[in-house]
Amino acid sequence: MTKQEPLSFTGIIKNAWQYRYTLILITATATIATYGITFLLPPEFKTTAVIYPTAPVNSAKGLLDQTSSSEGLSEFGTEDEAEQLMEVISGINLRRKVADRLDLWGHFKINKKDPKKNFYFDSKWEKNITLNLTKFNALRIEVYDIDPQTSASIANTIAEEADSAYRSARKIRAVAAYNAIATTKKIAFEEYQKHIDSLTFYNKLGVINVEQQMKELYRVKAEVTAAGSRDKNARIERELEVLKKYSAAVFGLESYITEKQREIIAIEQNEKIAMLEAMQEIPSIFNIDKAEVPEVKAYPKRALVSISTGIAAFILGLFILLFKSYLTNEVFNSGKPDTNR
């Protein structure tokens, strides 16, 4: 009994040559069969759309400020905005809107009355649609479908709905901000009116312009004192007492009202900005490349699939033959004399 030589590259070549006709038959059969099977597979067409998010600028503020530059409205977003846009497109709400707009339920042959319809649809969606961020912070949308027109429609509709969803999210925030500012403005006006009423009360008491009144009363008092008129002097003293008693309150009210006026002006400016943000329809994305209807199929690539299958069949066949040889020489015939092998 002789011991089998260790397996080496030379040994593999020798075994492959020994079984060359069998391996050729296996490889040819697998290649031809696979090539024929590819004709039974439905072809898939690939299309691509590329979009950029816009920079997060307050466009309404830029429109109101005549001296500011509107350059920010045409700037591309950063990596953060690109990732946010990708999250928006990956959301369930967006894919449902696309499905309803294009009737993808029927296209994917999914019964909308099926309790698992969303599971089937999401599985099909994730298989046929891929999202990738490029190194330049653009979002690439790749769509595979058996119908070339539908693949382009899906990619372009995703881009449109992404813009709409992005703007809707911003609009919700703008409306909430507008409501908060409107409430703040109402409170400020109520406080302003309250202090105006208090100032009006002091005005009715004769305290109108403390500084001017003081100056005038002291001038008249000096003249009356010089003339020796006690009645007029007493009346002037009473008026001075009123001014002295309420002057601090009037000064405080006037200062508060002035500051409140400035605050209300600023609030009204912010209110205009929030209102414009809520009403505007400025796009939130740049559609760099719209998806075009593909002219040639992307899958299956018959030659590539057939050759790959043939190579795999050759390797598998060689492994089986080597394993068979090993079993024959080392296992089943291990206890027999060499003459019987």
What is the block-wise mean pLDDT of the chain (341 residues), using blocks of 10 residues? 55 74 83 72 83 65 46 60 82 90 91 90 91 86 91 92 80 81 89 89 80 76 72 76 80 88 88 75 76 75 74 82 70 53 45
Which pLDDT belongs to residue 153? 93
Residue type, 330: E
Quote the CA–CA distance of 232 and 238 in Å, as a whole number.
10
Q: How far apart are CA 226 and CA 223, in angstroms?
A: 5
pLDDT of res. 272? 81
pLDDT given for residue 155 in this prediction: 92
Q: What is the pLDDT of residue 151?
A: 92
Integer-rounded Cα radius of gyration of the chain: 43
CA–CA separation, 165 and 283 (whole Å) = 11
Opening angle at CA 98, ends 97 and 101, nearest 5: 85
Give residues with Cβ within 8 angstroms of 280, minimum separation 6: 59, 60
Supply the pLDDT for residue 66. 44
pLDDT attached to residue 63:
46
d(CA 313, CA 317): 6
CA pair distance 250, 191, nearest whole angstrom: 16
